[in-house]
Amino acid sequence: MDTVRKSSGTVGKALSVLDLVASFERPVRFNDVLEVSPYPKATLYRILQNLVTEGVLAFDREWQTYALGVRLVRLAHSAWTQSSLAPVARPHLTALSQATGETIHLAQLDGPHVLYLDKRDAKRRVNMFSEAGKVGPAYCTGVGKAMLAHLSADELDRILPQQSYHRYTPSTICSQQELTVELQQIRQDGFALDREDHEPGIICVAVPVLSRSSQLMGAISITSTSARTSLNKLKKFVPDLQHAASQVAAAAEYWRFPDNQGTPEKMEI
Amino acid sequence: MDTVRKSSGTVGKALSVLDLVASFERPVRFNDVLEVSPYPKATLYRILQNLVTEGVLAFDREWQTYALGVRLVRLAHSAWTQSSLAPVARPHLTALSQATGETIHLAQLDGPHVLYLDKRDAKRRVNMFSEAGKVGPAYCTGVGKAMLAHLSADELDRILPQQSYHRYTPSTICSQQELTVELQQIRQDGFALDREDHEPGIICVAVPVLSRSSQLMGAISITSTSARTSLNKLKKFVPDLQHAASQVAAAAEYWRFPDNQGTPEKMEI
DNA sequence: ATTATAGTTTCATTATTCGGAACTCAAAGG
DNA sequence: CCTTTGAGTTCCGAATAATGAAACTATAAT
């Protein structure tokens, strides 16, 4: 189902096992993993042991189960802080959320999937599939389509075939052809719409976050329900979204600029 | 400074490089990493390349920098969801926060450090990886001491020498001897106090989360400022804390119980 | 033109990993 | 009580991947 990454080296294999354990969404026994893993018993055993000694998997003696370890949470904190748009985008998301009163999402691409990095809830609570760290499909979400539309042809060729094109709702885009047409439109408009593509009753408008050199950095969206508002009303927020996106892009680019600390002492002399 | 984990296998080396990159708290150039890494140029180069192809490091072509990749955020989301106390503790933390109006922390041990898994601010909720995922010292925080007090002698022998015993404030416990005495007291009392050990003006009371078999699972704390309240007043919350801790422990143990799905079909026949 | 610095590639050597097979252990079945 | 079964663990020669000194390239500084 979920595309397995090419796991070339030893590290790749270890990470693929980590993904395998993650995919169970509960602590698993050795045999559970063995059944779905491509590795022979002895090999898998050793890989699991390594991961446990490295603290990236946790082994529960009592239950004899493996689960993802806390070391990952620590690493993710660093990842969130240092690598992504998330920290610089924070105040802008809050501002958007307060200005619109709707749910705001910040996302990046993780391979062929959308990965949600941050979220602001509307005052009124909407029950929805998404929290920081969660992944979702790219071909049928607002942020996903906004990002796909701004990838290079090469990257699209690699990523589009990896989409599942599952029909979540009657309005889901279910083929690469349809998607390609939609992406063309999105590129022209500068924003993407989610017309209940992914969840019935959930609509959204999204814009990409692009660097000065038009490199894709991520996407921001405003989400609501068709009961409360309409796509046309949501579209009114596009300028705000675009403003926020450019602010975030500028902040992200500026943020890494001062780190030109190659040889500061020399320069001062 | 920060203790480097024993990195036995290939995976260990890769993870140690990941930690190295994380420790910069900003995107880094190859040479930055090289200078602090124990590996020769070619070796480090290959390790970094592997990590990039695996999506666990991100390489920025334009700046030629490495940063932790989003794949880690996804894994951490799974780790948070599946392995830790965090998901089951959530409602209990919220309840505590509302009952007391103070800041609540949930933490676990990650090696010798305290790793914060969740937090309730007196006022607003906190984003997942911005606060959750942070690490702190064990020997001078409420949650840290509460957890250390309930480790086995073996584990203490391993972990106590790894503490830094840095004097953050005049009241910081700065030696293993003093700490051992304090832990004895904590074991008797059933709760730990932070008497501005870590930050001036910040006080806290913490209790461990223990399984039925007295295995340490984590710790919960109520934090406040010495300006607003006192240790004696905070102590009044100990029963609430202990109640919450036992609820969380029970929930966590129950939660993994139904997964006894070894041979369900056979049993039904 | 020369030197210095950062990053990349090569390849013979060395160390790890691989995985079939054999083993332990505990529980289920006769 | 003995046998069977299956999960989990260990062994060890063969297969594979990692290692790192050195050479190389590209770019910037002198």
Give the Cα separation of B143 and B126 in Å (integer): 19
Give the Cα separation of A85 and A246 in Å (integer): 12
- Domain A84-256, architecture per CATH: 2-Layer Sandwich (3.30)
Residue-level pLDDT at A3 = 40
3-class secondary-structure state, position A110: strand
Which residues of B are less than 8 Å from A90 in CB distance? 127, 130
- Domain A10-73, architecture per CATH: Orthogonal Bundle (1.10)
Residue-level pLDDT at B5 = 46
Residue A111: exposed, middle, or buried by beta-carbon count in 10 A (0-12, 13-18, 19+)?
Answer: middle
Which range has highest mean pLDDT (A42-51, A255-264, B53-62)? A42-51
Residue ranges of chain B that CATH labels 3.30.450.40 = 76-256
Residue-level pLDDT at B256 = 62
Residue A206, pLDDT above cutoff 70: yes
Give the Cα separation of B187 and B149 in Å (integer): 6
Partner residue facing A108 (CB), from B15, B70, B111? B70
Identify the closest residue of chain B to A107 by CA–CA distance.
B70
Mean per-residue pLDDT, A65-80 = 88
Residue-level pLDDT at A262 = 29
Residue-level pLDDT at B251 = 86
Give B109 or B132, the one with higher predicted confidence.
B109
The per-residue pLDDT for range A155-181, each reduced to its tens digit, is: 899 899 999 999 999 999 999 999 999
Cβ of residue B108 closer than 8 Å to a chain A Cβ? yes
Give A44 or B70, the one with higher predicted confidence.
A44
| CA-wise closest residue to A3 among A202, A200, A191, A164 | A164
Give the Cα separation of B156 and B160 in Å (integer): 5
Sign of the CA dihedral running A47, A50, A54, A59: positive
What is the CA A178 to chain-centroid distance, rounded?
A: 23
Quick check: B21 and B66 in contact, CB under 8 A?
A: yes
Mean per-residue pLDDT, A106-129 = 80
Partner residue facing B11 (CB), from A50, A131, A256? A50
Identify the closest residue of chain B to A118 by CA–CA distance.
B127
Residue B269, pLDDT above cutoff 80: no
Give the Cα separation of B41 and B33 in Å (integer): 10
- Measured from Cα to the C1' atom, the residue closest to D19 is B43
Gap from B12 CA to C15 C1', Å: 15
Residue-level pLDDT at A129 = 59
Partner residue facing A69 (CB), from B74, B83, B127? B83
- Domain B76-256, architecture per CATH: 2-Layer Sandwich (3.30)
Residue A52, pLDDT above cutoff 50: yes
What is the CA A201 to chain-centroid distance, rounded?
A: 22
Q: How many CB atoms are located within 10 Å of the residue A258 CB?
A: 8
Mean per-residue pLDDT, A90-119 = 91
Mean per-residue pLDDT, A119-146 = 81
Q: Taking all residues of chain B, what is their mean pLDDT, rounded to a whole number? A: 86
Residue B263, pLDDT above cutoff 50: no
CA A222 to each of CA A207, B126, B205: distance values in angstroms, whole numbers, following the listed order:
9, 20, 40
Confidence of residue B9 (pLDDT cuts 50, 70, 90): confident
A172 — phi, psi (to 5°)? -65, 140
The per-residue pLDDT for range B158-204, each reduced to its tens digit, is: 899 999 999 999 999 999 999 999 999 999 999 999 999 999 999 99
Query: What one-letter code names the amino acid at A268?
Result: E
Residue-level pLDDT at B125 = 58
The per-residue pLDDT for range A207-261, each reduced to its tens digit, is: 999 988 888 999 999 999 999 999 999 999 999 999 999 999 988 877 665 443 3
Give the Cα separation of A101 and A229 in Å (integer): 12
Confidence of residue B127 (pLDDT cuts 50, 70, 90): low
Mean per-residue pLDDT, B70-75 = 89
Residue-level pLDDT at A178 = 94
Sign of the CA dihedral running B249, B115, A105, B77: negative
Residue ranges of chain A that CATH labels 3.30.450.40 = 84-256
* Residue of B21, B25, B66, B127 to mutate for A, most A C-beta atoms under 10 A: B127
CB pair distance less than 8 Å for A19 and B127: no
Gap from A53 CA to C21 C1', Å: 26
Residue-level pLDDT at B130 = 63
Confidence of residue B128 (pLDDT cuts 50, 70, 90): low
Residue ranges of chain A that CATH labels 1.10.10.10 = 10-73
β-pair type (A57-60, A65-68): antiparallel
Confidence of residue B223 (pLDDT cuts 50, 70, 90): very high
- The fold for domain B10-68 equals Arc Repressor Mutant, subunit A (1.10.10)
Residue-level pLDDT at A122 = 74
B178 — phi, psi (to 5°)? -55, -40
Which residues of A are less than 8 Å from B17 in CB distance? none
